[in-house]
Structure 1
Amino acid sequence: MTAASRLPVRVPLVTEPKSILESLQMARRNVLSIIPAIAMTQPMVSGKTGKRWHMVMDPGAIRQILLDRLEDYPKSVVTKNLLKPAIGESLFIAEGAHWRWQRRAAAPVFSHRNVMNLSPIMTAAAERAADRITAAGPRAVNMLDEMVTTTFDVIGDVTFSGGDTFDRDKVHGAIDDYIAEAGKISLFDILGLPDWIPRPGRVMSGKALKEMKSLADNAIVERAQRGNDGTPDLLDLLLEGIDPETKRQMSTSELRDNLLTFIVAGHETTALTLAWAMYLVGFDKAVQDRARAEAQSVLNGRACTGGDVENLPFVRMIIDEALRMYPAAGIISRTAQKADTLCDREIKPGDTVMIPIYALGRHQMLWDDPDSFRPERFADRKAIDRYAYLPFGDGPRICIGASFALQEAVIILATLLSRFEFTPVAGKDPEPVMILTLRPEGGVWMTAKPL
């Protein structure tokens, strides 16, 4: 067996220029396939596909985009056209003052205290996942499906803990339908045409979204009238949220758009991280054994809690390494508003500026042996350039739910590794394919031996 064949699965990258039509066809199949292979060795790559674009891998230039000149690099038209029908002008899409007041109002929701208070819900979902895997017996389990179910359990319970009349299956189905259809980049998006022009393939998903938004609106109004006397959940905290500067509170539609943002981001991205982490621990038995020993030592047969997370450093390193190798958001895109210079290269207003997070995490100038699975590279986090590792973005627009996602991922992975020995199914390696998020296409198939 060659060294290359022992590496975890990778995306085949472009080695020669492609036409607009070829690029569009490739992007509809797998967005990451449009990344040129030289992006793994260069600080910046530029080109033109209908309009000028730049891919930036230099940490200093990335800091300029995400922090120093944040206002000059708003989210791209493509990103907004894909997501606005689902989540409106929520935190993820809004810009300027409209984004700032929402961020200030929502920030307390994800405080350390509130995230820790939600850990029993994460633990209960992890325990139910373990029960389902046990019930499956000796047959193989698709851990991608299992992780999607588990993380949707979590987000459903932390969002609507009061048993509101909210059809979770319909919401889940509508989200999946929208990601499957709306996530396919349209030529209209590439050309920057207005979002009121219908995109082929988004009509049916739009109907599902309309129903989903109606369900969410009703649940919000009901909760506002009824209140909740238990531990505040995500909806309670959002209802209470006030921007300390403007004293503004979110309207029902603003609450709904942000709630749907958190539901989508709060289960899809964490589920994918966990699915890739499961693939990787199946790929390397020694890593799995070390993580299991740590989890069993800390948990000692009991349920995992939020307080255990800091005592599971190696399990956390596996999550970090999975995020480096297979970031859920494989590319983030911005549109330059003003003239600028990045890596001694001219940036013009209207240029598309992309940060290919997938390429950044595998860049040969930033990481030693970047295509290898080595969780221990995160043992000393201070040794890693802040702008070389961006699974949650950075700057003022860093993912507001990062601590929530990391705590959830560690709790679920530690719970499963402490209960089972996982073996991958031969010949069933997943394929890394990104539409809106980087998914292991084909699933992550494993057999689980109870311990």
Structure 2
Amino acid sequence: MSHPASDVPQSPEALPIRAALATEPLGLLGSLKAARNNLLSILPELAVRQPMVSGRTGLRWHMVMDPGAIRHILLERVEDYPKSKATKNILRPAIGDSLFIAEGAHWRWQRRAAAPVFTHRNIANLAPVMAQAAERAADRIADQSTHAVDMMSEMVMTTFDVISEVTFSGDGSFDSAKVHQAIDDYIAEAGKISLLDMLGVPDWVPRPGRMMSGNALGDMKQVADTAIEARKARGAKDTPDLLDLLLAGVDPETKKTMNTAELRDNLLTFIVAGHETTALTLAWALYLCAFDQDVQDKARTEINNICTDGPITGDQALELTFVRQIIDETLRLYPPAGIISRTAQAHDMLCAREIRPGDTVMIPIYALGRNRLLWDDPDAFKPERFANRKAIDRYAYLPFGDGPRICIGASFAIQEAVIVLATLLRRFRFDLVDGKPPKPVMILTLRPEGGVWLKATPIK
């Protein structure tokens, strides 16, 4: 079981920044306004104190923080709880029916075909790419060491560097920066929840924000399709990259392979999800290390004992257990996917409460990681709570989801985060900058609004 709640919480000054949760009902228009500015602000404060909270905002909704009920949703009755219509409406124009959105048989065969891409061997082979990108980031930061550095923008650049290299081997056939900008622009507009979604208006009614970005998305998909066709004609490289592995992917049961559109949609999913979420994790982790210098010093001692010289290897990353604990604790406090949303398809009971078909069932990962029934001193930064993973209920900690739809790239993200964080802590001491605290804001991902500004002092 997870640690029981503590009766003696730390003072606010001793706690890292956190989002203000709703202390009274917001109503439909209030919820819409809050959701468009920061989805975390629609979470009721009760969600960190109770196993389940229900209400109605146009549609009936339930927020579930009980590990047993979450296991039921994500594992035991997964077919009855597909991704919510709002999630699909937001993302489908950008990434089609890729692994992230597809359901049923269409999802299963894609998952089976893509699974070999993310084997331990393939992930381990990517460690040098991650280490080289980390060293380039450290060099950039060193050039700015006389003033504060926005580590959020630096980590976006670093993880994008990694995903571009492992996707297309830097062969210049794909303008990955253009693709990412198009998706980012789309999400900035279309990712904001529509009042029509909250009212349960049918999917065929157009959502204005999602129509505005169509041209940019069309151009982006054309760029990706052209790159895929060029790779098909040229063939795989000696050391296959992500695109080569996807092109070679075959569903072992049906023998199906992905066509160009399916390859493109999954590739775009991996490019965006594969760098945005890791960049956020690293930015928040650096903020937390600057917040607690004792943690930073302990991590640096571990890194210096294990990684004596040269770029950090995949094997060394596995040995950096305390650095991994920092990443785990960061994901508990600031999960990139702060809310998982599902639409119930059948009558059910959760926590002795009735669930009806059409109800929205949310797992607020942000509130789950701070729930007082599940965690000791939940708002505090304590990496050592992950020293014994068996002491933590599997369904109390879900930064990558769980069940058959657990994030396919979780091991990729963890290895990258450990290598980059360790590389930076080995080379710099990080300190907070007065008057520039990051603000946790969630639209589709939980971002530090205003950036993560830190002073980075090179270690001689």
- The answer on 1:391 being equivalent to 2:417 is no
- The answer on 1:377 being equivalent to 2:385 is yes
Matched AA of 2:254 = T
Q: 1:191-220, CA deviations, whole angstroms, 9 ceiling, x for partnerless residues? A: 233444332333443222111111110110
Equivalent residue for 2:75, pick from 48, 63, 67? 67
Give the equivalent residue in structure 2 for 1:118. Answer: 126
Equivalent residue for 1:40, pick from 48, 57, 61? 48
Equivalent residue for 1:249, pick from 253, 257, 261? 257
Kept after mapping to 2: 8 A contact 1:336/1:352: yes
- The answer on 1:138 being equivalent to 2:146 is yes
Matched AA of 1:241 = G
Kept after mapping to 2: 8 A contact 1:10/1:432: yes
Equivalent residue for 2:425, pick from 417, 422, 428? 417
Aligned equivalents of 2:163 and 2:202: distance in 1? 33
Equivalent residue for 1:404, pick from 402, 412, 417? 412
Percent of aligned pairs with the same amino acid: 71
Report the RMSD for the aligned CA atoms in angstroms.
1.1
Equivalent residue for 1:14, pick from 2, 22, 26? 22
Equivalent residue for 2:322, pick from 314, 323, 341? 314
Q: 1:55-84, CA deviations, whole angstroms, 9 ceiling, x for partnerless residues? A: 000000000000000000000001101110
Aligned equivalents of 1:181 and 1:373: distance in 2? 33
Give the equivalent residue in structure 1 for 2:180. Answer: 172
Aligned equivalents of 2:226 and 2:204: distance in 1? 26
Aligned equivalents of 1:180 and 1:377: distance in 2? 35
Kept after mapping to 1: 8 A contact 2:58/2:200: no
Structure 1 residue 257, shift from structure 2 partner? 0.2
Structure 1 stretch 418-427 or stretch 296-305: which is displaced more?
A: 296-305
Unaligned runs of 5+ in 1: none
Matched AA of 2:125 = N
Give the equivalent residue in structure 2 for 1:266. Answer: 274
Q: 1:208-242, CA deviations, whole angstroms, 9 ceiling, x for partnerless residues? A: 21111111101101011101323111100000000
Q: 1:18-77, CA deviations, whole angstroms, 9 ceiling, x for partnerless residues? A: 210000000000011111101111110000000100000000000000000000000000
Q: 1:100-123, CA deviations, whole angstroms, 9 ceiling, x for partnerless residues? A: 000000000000000011111111
Give the equivalent residue in structure 1 for 2:3. Answer: none
Matched AA of 1:98 = H
Matched AA of 1:77 = K
Equivalent residue for 1:106, pick from 108, 114, 118? 114
Give the equivalent residue in structure 1 for 2:446. Answer: 438
Equivalent residue for 1:220, pick from 204, 228, 237? 228
Give the equivalent residue in structure 2 for 1:275. Answer: 283
Structure 1 residue 301, shift from structure 2 partner? 2.6
Equivalent residue for 1:190, pick from 184, 194, 198? 198
Give the equivalent residue in structure 2 for 1:85. Answer: 93
Aligned equivalents of 2:367 and 2:347: distance in 1? 25
Equivalent residue for 2:299, pick from 291, 295, 301? 291
Q: 1:281-336, CA deviations, whole angstroms, 9 ceiling, x for partnerless residues? A: 01000001111111122111321111111110000000000000000000000000
SS at the partner of 1:201? Answer: helix
The number of aligned residues is 450
- The answer on 1:128 being equivalent to 2:136 is yes
Aligned equivalents of 1:227 and 1:119: distance in 2? 24
Matched AA of 1:389 = Y
SS at the partner of 1:153? Answer: helix
SS at the partner of 2:213? Answer: helix
Structure 1 residue 362, shift from structure 2 partner? 0.2
- The answer on 1:29 being equivalent to 2:37 is yes
Matched AA of 2:45 = A
Matched AA of 1:309 = A
Give the equivalent residue in structure 2 for 1:55. Answer: 63
> TM-score, structure 2 length as denominator?
0.96
The structure 1 segments of at least 4 consecutive aligned residues displaced by more than 4 Å after TM superposition are none
Matched AA of 1:122 = M
Kept after mapping to 2: 8 A contact 1:162/1:228: no
Aligned equivalents of 1:162 and 1:281: distance in 2? 32
Give the equivalent residue in structure 1 for 2:4. Answer: none
Unaligned runs of 5+ in 2: 1-9
Kept after mapping to 2: 8 A contact 1:31/1:433: yes
Kept after mapping to 1: 8 A contact 2:57/2:199: no
Give the equivalent residue in structure 1 for 2:436. Answer: 428
SS at the partner of 2:208? Answer: coil
- The answer on 1:447 being equivalent to 2:451 is no
Structure 1 stretch 128-137 or stretch 356-365: which is displaced more?
A: 128-137
Structure 1 stretch 300-309 or stretch 322-331: which is displaced more?
A: 300-309
Kept after mapping to 2: 8 A contact 1:59/1:388: yes
Aligned equivalents of 1:187 and 1:269: distance in 2? 27
Distance change (3 Å), C-alpha of 1:264 and 1:195: farther
SS at the partner of 1:185? Answer: coil
Structure 1 residue 183, shift from structure 2 partner? 1.4
Give the equivalent residue in structure 1 for 2:171. Answer: 163
Structure 1 stretch 284-293 or stretch 193-202: which is displaced more?
A: 193-202
